[in-house]
Amino acid sequence: MTTEIQWFIGKEGTIRTRLDVPPFRAFFFWLEDGKVVESADFDRQELEVEIERRSVAGQETVEFQQALRKLT
């Protein structure tokens, strides 16, 4: 089974939400064999906490750090 993480920076909101002004969020999708098995989204502060949590647990943080750079 192949697991992959994909992410993008975007906004939550309605049809009236402006997509060109902050605050933005990082959206993550975990895929197994091409199917989404989990998703999560974080603002900048939440993403910093998630990076710290994953780091302490010995998990990979590269994608999360890349997304954090895009959010700041």
pLDDT tens across 13-66, in order?
A: 666 667 677 788 999 999 999 899 999 999 999 999 999 999 999 999 999 999
Consecutive H or E run containing 6:
strand 3-10
The dihedral region occupied by 48, where left means phi > 0, alpha psi between -120 and 50, and beta the remainder, is alpha
| Better-predicted residue by pLDDT, 10 or 13 | 10
Rounded to whole angstroms, how far apart are CA atoms 55 and 36?
Answer: 24
Rounded to whole angstroms, how far apart are CA atoms 24 and 37?
Answer: 23
Q: How many CB atoms lie under 10 A from the CB of residue 62?
A: 9
Report CA 59 to chain centroid distance, whole Å: 15
pTM of the model: 0.84
Give the start-to-end residue ranges of the domains of the chain.
3-71
pLDDT tens across 14-25, in order?
A: 666 676 777 889
